[in-house]
Amino acid sequence: MGGYSFHTDNVRICVIMVGLPARGKSLIAQKIVRYLSWLSINAKCFNVGNYRRQEMAHPTADFFDAGNPEGERLRKIAAEAAIGDMFRWFEHEAGVVGILDATNTTRKRRDWILEICRARSVEPMFVESWCDDEDLIMHNIMDVKTTSPDYVGQDPEQAALDFRNRIRNYEKVYETITEPELTYVKLINVGSQVIINRIQSYLESRIVYYLMNLHIKPRCIWLSRHGESEFNLLGRIGGDSDISARGQEYSRQLPRLVKQSVGDRELTVWTSTLKRTAQTAKYLPYRQLTWKALDELDAGECDGMTYAEIEERFPEDYAARDNNKYEYRYRGGESYRDVVTRLEPIIMELERQENILIVTHQAVLRCIYAYFMNVRQDQSPWMEVPLHTLIKLEPKAYGTEVTRISADIPAVSTYREKGQSSRKK
């Protein structure tokens, strides 16, 4: 039902991450998984470090010295376990894009992975993050020392020192990718320059297009629904109604909430073309942009109706939407999948930007939130995104941190559980 149609029946790709520690590889790997999963492509990351931690939970930098045979042996075992699980996933769970998240800094290690991929008829694609931006490296070191499972419970300064020594051990043997016969993308200082070599399939080109829009600088995304609207009070969907008196109060309080969370950082506000989002963002003292792609899901013939009216007039449609809300398309309108399709340029632009506040609508925010939180598409239409709440998303190497800030201004609930009677939305 609309959306992208990728012919992935016979395509299996192993994305092999390459690069020194603190170059954002894990963050990039997680972003690729999120993006492909968001487009309903079966993707999964296999982090070799997670396998290694089963044998060696808190290694020192010496463990990663190429001259340490025991460290080398355990790291090879971890890589074999990750690759083994990846190929079982390809075979038994219809995997399409598996991502091997590790340093893979030597040609010898990469050749070994290549041989395995070719023997299993899986397309190998290397993604190398090459970085000499000291500010970015230092930020990643500071991030890793506080979020990496390798340094849980350790003194932060000792963790940072040990991590720098680990990087030096890898630098001794690091060989950047230069082989002309390989399929690879080399990201230089993530976003400054991109080198592309022998991209051969449509799906590989989609991954490349996504990677070309990435940066891994620290930033936050803030999300807010518009203030309570007159249609919300009436239980009607869609439309272009004004915000209610309580919605206006939220509009006046929003600058304070945003300032407390954003601080002195620069911020750009994005709204839809519908007046309830513009009215909500009215008092925000930041640059504002309007996006048609952020308009609410089009309810077609049901626009302006209550759920009770929809159930009475179109009972089969009402039941079908409950059964598969992500794929169901309103008569003459849209499905959640359609919304994801039109939001892809928004996601690409979000990845290019730094600090953004999006003031938009329930269905649209569910789709954007699902992207950042890697929520399954069949679950995304059922997520609760309350009115008069500011949501802060902070992407990190090992996941996205979420903070919800309530304005403590009453509003109707527009949330309706699956199978719930049409008396509530």
Q: Would you state the torsion angle of the CA atoms of residues 300, 303, 308, 312, taken in this order, to the nearest 10 degrees?
A: -40
And the tokens for 113? 């992975």
And the tokens for 95? 């995997």
Tens of pLDDT along 164-191?
999 999 999 999 999 999 999 999 987 7
Q: Sorting pLDDT into bands at 50, 70 and 90, what band is 307?
A: very high
Q: Residue 89 contacts by C-beta under 8 Å, 6 or more apart in sequence?
A: 44, 46, 95, 98
State yes or no: pLDDT of 2 exceeds 50.
no
* Section 275-302 average pLDDT: 98
And the tokens for 302? 């049901």
* Section 208-231 average pLDDT: 93
Confidence at residue 419, expressed as pLDDT on a 0 to 100 scale: 66
Q: Sorting pLDDT into bands at 50, 70 and 90, what band is 416?
A: confident
User: pLDDT: is 192 or 50 the higher one?
Assistant: 50
Nearest-angstrom CA–CA distance, 101 and 14: 10
Nearest-angstrom CA–CA distance, 323 and 300: 19
Give the type of residue at 67.
Answer: G
Nearest-angstrom CA–CA distance, 274 and 284: 17
Nearest-angstrom CA–CA distance, 185 and 111: 17
Percent of the chain at pLDDT exceeding 70 = 95
- CB count within 10 Å of CB 357 equals 24
Across the chain, mean pLDDT equals: 93
Tens of pLDDT along 393-404?
998 877 789 999
Q: Which of 11-15, 262-266, 355-359, 399-403 has the lowest mean pLDDT?
A: 399-403
Confidence at residue 129, expressed as pLDDT on a 0 to 100 scale: 96
State yes or no: pLDDT of 418 exceeds 80.
no
| 265 secondary structure, DSSP code | S
Cα 340–Cα 266–Cα 138 angle in degrees, nearest 5: 90
Q: Sorting pLDDT into bands at 50, 70 and 90, what band is 203?
A: very high
And the tokens for 338? 């359609």
Confidence at residue 130, expressed as pLDDT on a 0 to 100 scale: 95
Cα distances (angstroms) measured from residue 316 to each of 112, 113, 303, 309, 331: 55, 52, 17, 13, 12
Confidence at residue 63, expressed as pLDDT on a 0 to 100 scale: 97
* Section 133-159 average pLDDT: 84
State yes or no: pLDDT of 363 exceeds 90.
yes
The residues carrying an active-site annotation are 101, 226, 296
Residue with tokens 């509530």: 424
Phi-psi region of 190 (alpha: psi -120 to 50; beta: other; left: phi over 0): left
Confidence at residue 6, expressed as pLDDT on a 0 to 100 scale: 52
State yes or no: pLDDT of 391 exceeds 50.
yes
Percent of the chain at pLDDT exceeding 90 = 84
Q: Which helix (H) or strand (E) is 221 found in, with range?
A: strand 221-225
CB-based contacts of 282-285 (< 8 A; 24+ apart in sequence)? 282/251, 283/251, 283/252, 283/254, 283/255, 284/254, 284/255, 284/258, 284/357, 285/255
Where do the domains of the chain lie, and which CATH numbers do they carry?
13-211 (3.40.50.300), 221-406 (3.40.50.1240)
Asked whether the beta carbons of 78 and 42 are under 8 A apart, the reply is no
Tens of pLDDT along 243-275?
999 999 999 999 999 999 999 999 999 999 999
CA atoms within 13 A on the CB side of 256: 9
Confidence at residue 128, expressed as pLDDT on a 0 to 100 scale: 98
* Section 336-361 average pLDDT: 96
Q: Sorting pLDDT into bands at 50, 70 and 90, what band is 1?
A: very low
State yes or no: pLDDT of 308 exceeds 70.
yes
Confidence at residue 423, expressed as pLDDT on a 0 to 100 scale: 41
Read off the pTM. 0.90
Tens of pLDDT along 331-346?
999 999 999 999 999 9
Q: Sorting pLDDT into bands at 50, 70 and 90, what band is 3?
A: very low
Q: Strands 221-225 and 356-360, how do they pair?
A: parallel
Confidence at residue 9, expressed as pLDDT on a 0 to 100 scale: 60
Confidence at residue 425, expressed as pLDDT on a 0 to 100 scale: 34
Confidence at residue 405, expressed as pLDDT on a 0 to 100 scale: 97
